[in-house]
Structure 1
Amino acid sequence: METTTHTVPPQSDNHSHTIILLHGRDSIASEFACEFFESQAGDGQTLPQVFPTFKWVFPASRMRNSARFESDLSQWFDIWSVEEPSEKKGIQIDGLRESIEEILDVIRGEALLVPQSRIILGGISQGCATAIHTLLYAGIRLGGFVGFCSWLPFQEDIAAITASSISHDTTIRKIRSIFSGSDYEPASLTELKQKSQGPAIETPVFLSHSLDDNVVPIQNGRELKRTISDLGFKTIWKEYEDGGHWINESQGVDDVIAFLKDRL
């Protein structure tokens, strides 16, 4: 199983933005990239064609043991039930903590090449779930966030934190404590915070989900949207009649393009 980052350079000589996208569970980075780039907009163009100055980075998850299936899977963290993500949620913590630190390292590397305001983070399914927690854990503003057919791990815990009406910094610390249990801060995050141009809630968010998704119930996506909106994120939410556990074509691709163009 491939466990290396898959990178696609800009199609032009100018590198203006970097978009970091995380694959789903039991997938690999290069496979996700290939399928993602096959998705077409209404005019037949693919995303690299629409954004020739973008660098595309597809990190790869580790192989981790699945407690439920008793075998190793390519996954960002273990989970007992995608339909009921709060079930046996304790098994998610170690993988999420490790994956968050790994993605922070990826962001740090790209921040040496372009400003953080030109880095877009996101993913699909479990990759999106990991990416949104990376954004929350970091507490820093990025250029944007795009997520497809996903959910929010520890949604109930975060909703309870949000309901206490505390400051943004305290909210981030409490969310971070779900995984660290302390004030521990990875070196990569320390560097990113020094260059930060604002808090995480200033990161514009795009989320989409299809009604016929037979892997992650759309209600889980709606709860993700509601909770991060309650946290203060300006969020665009799109629902589609079809598209399954993937990106709706072609309207869904057009909507992503419109969102990203607004960030340019």
Structure 2
Amino acid sequence: MDPHSPFSYLVFPPREEHTHTVIWFHGPGSSASELSSELFKCKASQPEGQPRTLRDIFPTIKWVFPRAPPLDMSRWFHRWYNEQYEALRFNHSLRYSGISQITDGLEEEVYQVPVNRIFLAWIGQGFPTPISACELTFQARFAGLIGLSSGLASYVPRLRHMPRFPLVLPTPAFLAHCADDEVIPIESGRRLRDILSDSLRPIQWKEYSDGGHWINEPQGVDDIVAFIKRNMYRY
């Protein structure tokens, strides 16, 4: 995509033959470059004595980090506080956020690898965008969804009452949250888990005692590695 467009990607190509893609969405106030830099510093516990970042462990994966459109605070959708028109406004916000660009990017990606070898991942409140893009564009099954430190804030509609939610696909999902997250309380993450569990099957939930609004190390990284390995060739 055009690097000068409002929506573009940071891409880290695979180090070996390209077999899978992970598209990772940053949270509000963050950026694609910040997320990718911090993500690739995280290390798993294994293999001992060898490089243990996600790029090291998965040399055939292409890592893609979309940049959010320049809304307020570089977010994927606008914040709406009018509860009476919450769902309608939220759908409108998604429509005019990065959805069309994301779906265009996904369609380009499936020319390189099948959709069932593409993972969608997010941190924080970026979750409605990949889920909406997934539902609106593809009936096929993605390899999996990975969500970290996500929750239902006051400005996110009740998904059950939204016209197009919840997404009804047997897509495996991994959700994780740290108990000491001061940005999105873990209770909010549990509510999101309960709503998404109605439609995403199987769904795996992990809680960690520490790690803040980020990934627990090394156990959280180990769990992400295990989830990706388990679903790389599931279909």
Q: TM-score range by the shorter chain?
A: 0.7 to 0.9
Out of 246-255 and 146-155, give the one that drifted further.
146-155
Contact residue 211 and residue 242 of structure 1 kept, 8 A: yes
1:159 equivalent in structure 2:
160
Going from structure 1 to structure 2, the CA distance change for 1:115 and 1:220 (only over 3 Å counts) comes to same
Question: Given residue 142 of structure 1, which amino acid in structure 2 is its aligned partner?
Answer: F
| d(CA) in 2 for partners of 1:119, 1:28 | 21
TM-score by length of 2: 0.83
- Asked whether the 8 Å contact 2:173–2:200 carries over to 1, the reply is no
Write out per-residue CA displacement over residues 157-205 of structure 1, whole angstroms, 9 at most, x where no aligned residue: x3357xxxxxxxxxxxx316x9xxxxxxxxxxxxxxxxxxxx9522110
Alpha-carbon contact 2:168-2:199 (below 8 Å) kept: no
Aligned to 1:210: 178
Which of 173, 196, 204 is 1:236 aligned to? 204
Specify the alignment match of 2:28 in structure 1. 25
| Paired residue secondary structure (2:21) | strand
1:105-148 deviation digits (Å, cap 9, x = unpaired): 12111101000110111111122342233334345311111110
Alpha-carbon shift at residue 92 of structure 1 (Å): 4.0
Please give the alpha-carbon distance, in whole angstroms, between the structure 1 residues aligned to 2:83 and 2:74: 20
- Residues 9, 66 of structure 2: 8 Å contact kept: yes
Q: Identity of counterpart residues, as a percentage? A: 39
1:8 corresponds to which residue?
A: 12
Contact 2:172 2:200 in 1 (8 A): no
Q: Equivalences for 1:28-177 in 2 at 5 Å?
A: 28-43=31-46, 45-65=52-72, 73-79=73-79, 89=86, 92-97=90-95, 98-138=97-137, 140=139, 141-152=141-152, 154=156, 156=158, 158-160=159-161, 174-175=163-164
TM-score when normalising by structure 1: 0.74
| Partners of 1:160 and 1:88 in 2: CA distance | 11
Partner amino acid for 1:8?
A: F
Structure 1 CA distance for aligned equivalents of residues 216 and 66 of structure 2: 23
C-alpha RMSD of the superposition: 2.7
Q: Shift in Å at residue 19 of structure 1?
A: 0.6
User: SS of the counterpart of 1:113?
Assistant: coil
Give unpaired runs (5+ residues) of structure 1: 66-72, 162-173, 179-198
Aligned length: 219
Give the unaligned 5+ runs of structure 2: none
Alpha-carbon distance between aligned partners in 1 of 2:15 and 2:83, rounded to the nearest angstrom: 42
Partner of 1:225, secondary structure, is: helix
Q: Which amino acid aligns with 2:221?
A: V
CA shift, 1:11, in A, is 1.1
